[in-house]
Structure 1
């Protein structure tokens, strides 16, 4: 398959996913969950992506895309004989890059995307979601943190 055809197929798949996500955002409950599952299935069945195509879609250089893959921001499906990237993670990173650029962020995207992916992974944890929900309901005990005497910060005013 030629590079142009691969890119065209990927763009068509991502466009379908974006349309489904737009409709899902207007729904709630089971219907939203069903459409989210369709998105996940579609991305899971989208072929791996060449770095050059990912670079074109993200508006980055191929060198930057390869660096992001080496850092783990873009997930690779294979590294040998050639690097291929996971389409689902590419889609996730594409959303983050678009949001950051819309907010005026042009430099330091790697660190920002990495932080947002880490935050997203934390928020996806069921135990954290349960704890946050308990906090919202006002459940739990209040406590005051006290430093051990040996670690207490200095209360002396600096000159």
Structure 2
């Protein structure tokens, strides 16, 4: 007999696998697809991720292969974020969890096993800077050679 928590776990892991598969297909096909098709595929991945329900700490722990105490600590530090729900239970935002999952996997693939909190925090901070529209505009100007002397 399957418990509610087990069904929730299976559903979450399946949804994350689907998002990962869509992202992988988009990455592999990026050279062959025109930008509009690629944007559509990435949009499907984002919408799929946005449709995932807030995640229990225990399930986030399994997904990230970290203990629950670490998940709570990372939430308090702002690395993971709580979902905006009316629940009294701590539930995590699946989009941020997905972002952190990618970073943790990358760090582990590069041999990083300890002190993940700081490494993840810095990666998130770097990405926040890179996502700024004004920086993207400035970098695009530089690539075009549209440089202004100070």
TM-score, normalising length: structure 1? 0.84
Matching residue of 1:7? 9
Deviates more, 1:131-140 or 1:51-60: 131-140
TM-fit CA distance, 1:56: 0.7
Cα deviation digits, residues 105-159 of structure 1 (max 9, x gap): 011111111111111111112111010111222222345xxxxxxxxxxxxxxxx
Q: Bigger radius of gyration, 1 or 2?
A: 1
Higher helix share: 2
Instruction: Show structure 2 runs of 5+ residues with no match.
Output: none
Matching residue of 2:123? 116
Query: How far apart are the structure 2 equivalents of 1:10 and 1:47?
Result: 8
Number of residue equivalences: 143
Cα deviation digits, residues 18-70 of structure 1 (max 9, x gap): 11111111134111111111111111110100001000110100000011111
1:74 aligns to what SS in structure 2?
coil
Matching residue of 1:138? 145
Q: 1:89 aligns with which of 93, 96, 107?
A: 96
Query: How far apart are the structure 2 equivalents of 1:46 and 1:90?
Result: 11
